[in-house]
Copies of this chain bind each other. A is one copy, B any other.
């Protein structure tokens, strides 16, 4: 059924040339004439040549260096992303990967420098958070020109030449938030607010649009107010919300699409409207937990940072190893966290780098695992 795969030797033999020339041609290394190069490329294609990765790795054993340029962050989101990257890097069978974390403290502080040093170090690939697409775009483009593939996590930098993007599906997030808001609220009239970082961020605009669209389609009794932009500044968020609650005393729900949910909750508490509001937030971090348990936050939409990190790494690695990756845009389904299943997610987060953890000793001896240490 399976004919043996074609090798470099096969191509060489078919062309009456040598392995060395074939190898040079396929890697467009110098030292091969344009004619033979073309003939090799053609023959490789017709014979359906696929490089044997095991042999390649065994022979060259050069290590891939991947630079991870991310934000420190105010919540645990980016820590989780980095953990996911580390996990994925640790679980590839042929471990020849070296991770190089360049974490900058604040938004727009040190990201450009990190990019510059990564490019100068001539790393093999970059995983990054494109916090400021408009600024980072040129850096990503510069990396691409230097043949360094870049994969964005969480936020896209469209038109930058980046290899790919992995993030949470904005449509699914915004829609599910709207559906929950609508169902939780019932059929009476009411108005809903939404907070986001900045309408200039594609992801946030899309989430907002999806939320609005679903709300309009299925819950016409709910009216969406003009979005509030907080720019990830606590005071801005708090003050704008205080003003909002005063201006719309009949407000019945808030959808917080950013990490800055605590200021919103504080504002609601201080305005004494907390128990009248249905609040849906985004992500999951320690400070938010008591608010979920108390029921103040009805639900939170978990953006699966660890999964994002894992998949981003896999995408980059696949490209570096195979020369092409399967899908360059990955949109994950968000998870929904509420009071009842909160512990499940907390438990999952806590099994951190313990991947080697000994699992419940109820079934100890399997007998198969006795291969070698």
Contact of A179 among B335, B340, B357, B363 (CB under 8 A): B340
Set of chain B residues within 8 Å of A155, measured between Cβ atoms = none
Q: B-facing mask of A315-336, CB < 8 A → 1, else 0?
A: 0001101111011111111011
Complex CA gap A341/B334 in Å reads: 11
Is A356 interfacial (CB-CB < 8 Å)? Answer: yes
Question: Given the complex, which residues of B lie within 8 Å of A327, measured CB to CB?
Answer: 355, 357-359, 367-368, 370
Interface centre among A159, A175, A335, A366 (most CB of B within 10 A): A366
Contacting pair B355 A326 (CB below 8 A):
yes
Chain B residues within an 8 Å CB radius of A24: none
A239 to chain B, nearest CB (A): 30
B residues in contact with A20, CB < 8 Å: none
Main SS of the interface on chain A? mixed
Closest to A364 in B: B329
Q: Cβ of B340 and Cβ of A93 under 8 Å apart? A: no
CB-defined contacts of A356 to chain B, threshold 8 Å? 326
Taking the complex as formed, is A35 at the interface, i.e. its CB lies under 8 A from any CB of chain B? no
Q: A327-B357, A344-B175, A370-B327 are in contact. Are A339 and B214 (CB under 8 A)?
A: yes
For residues 333 through 373 of chain A, which have their beta carbon under 8 Å from a beta carbon of chain B? 333, 335-336, 338-341, 343-345, 348, 355-360, 362-364, 366-373
- Chain B residues near A149 (CB-CB < 8 A): 368
Given contacts A359-B328, A367-B165, A373-B45, contact A176 B340 (CB under 8 A): yes
| Chain B hits for A158, CB < 8 A | 362-363
The yes or no answer to A144 lying at the interface (CB within 8 A) is yes
Question: A57, A158, A171, A370 — which one has the most chain B CB atoms within 10 A of its CB?
Answer: A370
Which of B49, B172, B321, B344 is within 8 Å of A344, CB to CB?
B172
Q: A326 to B335: give the CA distance in the assembly, Å.
A: 24
Determine whether the beta carbon of A310 is less than 8 Å from that of B369: no
Inter-chain contact A369/B175, CB cutoff 8 Å: no
B298 engages A330 (CB within 8 Å): no
Whether B369 and A324, one on each chain, are in contact in the complex, defined by CB atoms closer than 8 angstroms, is yes
Query: A85 CB to closest chain B CB, in angstroms?
Result: 14
- Bound together, the chains give a CA A338 to CA B211 distance in angstroms of 13
A161 within 8 A of B: yes
- B331 & A366 in contact (Cβ 8 Å cutoff): yes
20 further interface pairs, Cβ-Cβ under 8 Å (given A147-B368, A332-B372): A44-B372, A49-B373, A53-B54, A93-B94, A163-B368, A169-B341, A169-B369, A175-B338, A176-B336, A179-B340, A186-B186, A217-B340, A319-B369, A323-B372, A324-B359, A326-B356, A327-B357, A328-B359, A328-B368, A333-B335
Nearest CB of chain B from residue A81's CB, rounded to whole Å: 14
